[in-house]
Structure 1
Amino acid sequence: MAEKPKLYYFNGRGRMESIRWLLAAAGVEFEEEFLETREQYENLLKDGFLLFQQVPMVEIDGMRLVQTRAILSYIAAKHNLYGKNLKERALIDMYVEGTTELMGIIRVHYRLPPEEKEKNLTLTIERATKRYFPVYEKVLKDNGQHFLLGNQLTWADIQLIEAILMVEEKDPTILSLFPFLQAFKARVGAVPTIKKFLEPGSQRKPPHDETLLETTKRVFNRK
């Protein structure tokens, strides 16, 4: 029996959360080692495991993969979540890049000083409702599709529901003008592996807090 993938990151969302989502959606059990001290990070550097001196890092199939996009694309391809041909992969990449950009705006929120948090919240809502969600709404509406690529669940769908839930934490009414995304959210959330990941006690992480911020500062020697 193959060993479970092992994830090296902080005990929080960050760039690792999309990897957790994808593994969970694929029905893959995984282990985690949480970085809490500077020594842990320096040991990974000394052993040459962090190719670009950054986490996340995932041990999988005898490899130590770094760089979030490389990890995600490998997992997606391995578990048939990356389309059936180059055209479908290009579409998946396009949709994924959009949700990645949106989630990037949200991720910086917890690191901002109080006076900038409201501005970031306004930007998040504006970008979600004016730039990103209308695109996915139109794709679903125009093509009458269950998912972004017809009837097949892909990496793009998994990352889209992750992004939707992240924005809903900021504004629970965000989907009120997007009926197709509302139906999409319910449909994807009912996929057994995803439903399990959304239940309490899963390895899904809560929103960032000050404890996580202090941990990252300690590990990276940031002030």
Structure 2
Amino acid sequence: MSERVVLHYFNGRGKMESIRWLLTVAEVEFDEMYLTTREQYEKLLSDGALMFQQVPMVEIDGMKLVQTKAILHYIAGKYNLHGKDLKERVMINMYSEGLTDLMEMIMMLPFTADPKPKLDNIQTKAKERYLPVFEKALTGPVYLVGGKLSLADVLLLECTLMLEEKFPGILADFPNTKAFQGRMTLIPAISRFLQPGSKRKPQPDGNYTKTIMEVFKITIP
């Protein structure tokens, strides 16, 4: 039996949350080691576990993987969630990177002194730049690429749920995307992940932000 996957990150969403989502959809069990102190982070550095001195870091298949996109691509490839050929894969990657760009804007809100202008910008970009792409792609197809569940679908579900937390009703003008979201939540593994008590993390709070700032020795300008 292979060893369980171990995630090294903070006890919160951040860049690790997409990895949690993907492992959940792939029905892969994982353990988590939470960073809570600067000393824990420095030990990972001294052990050589962090190639670029950054987390997330995922222990899987005897490797210590860093860089979120590389981790997602590895997991997606291993569990047949990354398309059947190069053309499907590049479409999945394009969709996925667009979604990652949008979600990273939301992730930075807790570290912003005045989030209101950022929120307005996120909402505008979501409605004018990002959501129209997926609304068009889902005119007919059940999934975004190749008629099969992929990394891009998992990230789209995560992203739309994040958007609705900040902007309730934002999908009102995107019925195909809203219907897709509904279909995805019926997948048993996803349905379980959305229930209280799962490994899905809540929206970040002050403790999450404070821990990250202390571990990385950063300040909000």
Q: TM-score, normalised by structure 2?
A: 0.97
User: Does the residue aligned with 1:14 lie in a helix, a strand or coil?
Assistant: coil
Aligned residues with identical type, % of pairs: 54
Taking only aligned residues, the RMSD between alpha carbons, in angstroms, comes to 0.8
* Structure 1 letter corresponding to 2:81: L
Tell me the equivalent position of 1:184.
180
User: Does the residue aligned with 2:119 lie in a helix, a strand or coil?
Assistant: helix
Matches within 5 A, 1:92-111: 92-111=92-111
Q: Does 1:117 align with 2:112?
A: no
Structure 1 residue 221, shift from structure 2 partner: 2.1
Tell me the equivalent position of 2:134.
136
Matches within 5 A, 1:60-209: 60-113=60-113, 116-141=114-139, 144-209=140-205
CA distance in 2, matches of 1:209, 1:64: 28
* Structure 2 letter corresponding to 1:78: K
Task: Show structure 1 runs of 5+ residues with no match.
Answer: none
User: Does the residue aligned with 2:145 lie in a helix, a strand or coil?
Assistant: coil
CA distance in 1, matches of 2:218, 2:132: 38
**Residues 5, 58 of structure 2: 8 Å contact kept:** yes
CA distance in 1, matches of 2:79, 2:146: 18
**Residues 88, 146 of structure 2: 8 Å contact kept:** no
Q: Does 1:7 align with 2:3?
A: no
Structure 1 residue 222, shift from structure 2 partner: 2.4
CA distance in 2, matches of 1:35, 1:159: 24
Tell me the equivalent position of 1:32.
32
Structure 1 residue 195, shift from structure 2 partner: 1.1
CA distance in 2, matches of 1:222, 1:119: 22
Runs of 4+ in 1 over 3 A off after TM superposition: none
User: Does the residue aligned with 1:8 lie in a helix, a strand or coil?
Assistant: strand
Closer, same or farther: CA 171–133 of 1 in aligned 2, 3 Å: same
* Structure 2 letter corresponding to 1:47: D
Structure 1 residue 39, shift from structure 2 partner: 0.8
User: Does the residue aligned with 1:11 lie in a helix, a strand or coil?
Assistant: coil
Structure 1 residue 86, shift from structure 2 partner: 0.3
CA distance in 2, matches of 1:104, 1:93: 16
Deviations 1:110-151 (A, max 9, x none): 1111xx21111111111111100000000111xx10010243
CA distance in 2, matches of 1:135, 1:71: 25
Q: TM-score, normalised by structure 1?
A: 0.96
